[in-house]
Chains A and B, each alone.
Chain A
Amino acid sequence: MNLIRLPEGVIPFDETYILYKEGDLMGGVCCILALAPILILQSYLTWFIIDRDVESLYVVVGQLSNEVLNKILKRVFKHTRPMQDGLTMINSNDSILSFGMPSAHCQFMGFFTSYIIVNMWCRWRYKIEKRDKLLYSILIVLLSLSVCISRWYLQYHHWDQIIIGYEIGMFVGMWYYMSVVVLIAPLSIHLTHYPFVSYCFEILHILKV
Chain B
Amino acid sequence: MNWVVLGSLLLFIASVYTLRLILIIPCFTAASESNKDGKDSSLLKLKQEDVRGLQLFIFLGSGGHTGEMLRLLQNYKNILLNKDTTLHVGYSDNESLKKMKKLSDAFECKVKFYEFKKAREVGANVKSSLKTIIVTLLASLMHVVNIKLHMLNKPHLVLLNGPGTCCIITTWFKLIDLLCLFTSSNIIYVESLARIKTLSLTGKILYWLADEFVVQWKDLQTPYPRSKHFGILV
Chain A residues with a Cβ under 8 A of chain B? 114, 118, 122-127, 160, 163-164, 167-168, 170-171, 174-175, 177-178, 181-182, 205, 207-209
| Residues of A with C-beta under 8 A to B27 | 181-182, 209
| Chain-A contact segment, one of B8-16, B110-118, B136-144, B153-161 | B8-16
Please tell me if the beta carbons of A122 and B29 are within 8 angstroms of each other in the complex.
yes
| Residues of A with C-beta under 8 A to B14 | 171
- Besides A122-B23, A171-B14, A181-B27, 5 more A-B contacts (Cβ < 8 Å) are A124-B32, A167-B12, A174-B19, A209-B30, A209-B226
Nearest B residue to A208 via CB reads B225
B126: interface (CB < 8 Å): no
Chain B, interface SS category:
helix
Top-4 shortest CB links A-B: A208-B225, A125-B32, A167-B11, A160-B4
> In whole angstroms, what is the CA distance A43 to B214 when docked?
41
Q: Which of B6-58 contact A (CB under 8 A)?
A: 7-8, 11-12, 14-15, 18-19, 21-23, 27-33, 35
Residue in B8, B15, B28, B35 whose beta carbon sits within 8 Å of that of A208 in the complex: B35
Please tell me if the beta carbons of B15 and A160 are within 8 angstroms of each other in the complex.
no
Please tell me if the beta carbons of B8 and A164 are within 8 angstroms of each other in the complex.
yes
Please tell me if the beta carbons of B30 and A208 are within 8 angstroms of each other in the complex.
yes
Nearest B residue to A122 via CB reads B29
> In whole angstroms, what is the CA distance A118 to B30 when docked?
12
Please tell me if the beta carbons of A126 and B32 are within 8 angstroms of each other in the complex.
yes
B124: interface (CB < 8 Å): no
> In whole angstroms, what is the CA distance A205 to B19 when docked?
25
Residue in B11, B19, B22, B28 whose beta carbon sits within 8 Å of that of A168 in the complex: B11
Interface size class of B (residues with CB under 8 A): 20 to 34
Please tell me if the beta carbons of A122 and B30 are within 8 angstroms of each other in the complex.
yes
Q: Which of B194-208 contact A (CB under 8 A)?
A: none
Residue in A127, A170, A181 whose beta carbon sits within 8 Å of that of B28 in the complex: A181
Please tell me if the beta carbons of B8 and A118 are within 8 angstroms of each other in the complex.
no
Nearest B residue to A207 via CB reads B30
Give min CB distance, B23 to chain A, whole Å.
Answer: 8
Give min CB distance, A82 to chain B, whole Å.
Answer: 14
B1: interface (CB < 8 Å): yes
> In whole angstroms, what is the CA distance A168 to B14 when docked?
10
Please tell me if the beta carbons of A160 and B8 are within 8 angstroms of each other in the complex.
yes
| Residues of B with C-beta under 8 A to A160 | 1, 4, 8
> In whole angstroms, what is the CA distance A171 to B27 when docked?
19
Residue in B8, B11, B18, B32 whose beta carbon sits within 8 Å of that of A207 in the complex: B32
| Residues of B with C-beta under 8 A to A171 | 11, 14-15, 18
Q: List 12 A-B contacts (CB under 8 A).
A: A114-B19, A118-B22, A122-B23, A122-B28, A122-B29, A164-B8, A167-B8, A167-B11, A170-B11, A174-B22, A181-B28, A209-B27
> In whole angstroms, what is the CA distance A171 to B14 when docked?
7
Please tell me if the beta carbons of B11 and A208 are within 8 angstroms of each other in the complex.
no
| Residues of A with C-beta under 8 A to B33 | 127
Please tell me if the beta carbons of B15 and A174 are within 8 angstroms of each other in the complex.
yes
| Residues of B with C-beta under 8 A to A175 | 18
| Residues of B with C-beta under 8 A to A123 | 28-30, 32
| Residues of A with C-beta under 8 A to B23 | 122
| Residues of B with C-beta under 8 A to A118 | 19, 22
Give min CB distance, B35 to chain A, whole Å.
Answer: 6
| Residues of B with C-beta under 8 A to A114 | 15, 19
> In whole angstroms, what is the CA distance A167 to B8 when docked?
7
| Residues of A with C-beta under 8 A to B225 | 208-209
> In whole angstroms, what is the CA distance A56 to B18 when docked?
23
- Known contacts: A167-B15, A209-B226. The answer to whether A177 contacts B28 by CB under 8 A is yes
> In whole angstroms, what is the CA distance A181 to B21 when docked?
13
| Residues of A with C-beta under 8 A to B8 | 160, 163-164, 167
> In whole angstroms, what is the CA distance A118 to B225 when docked?
22
> In whole angstroms, what is the CA distance A123 to B28 when docked?
8
| Residues of B with C-beta under 8 A to A125 | 30, 32
Give min CB distance, A140 to chain B, whole Å.
Answer: 15
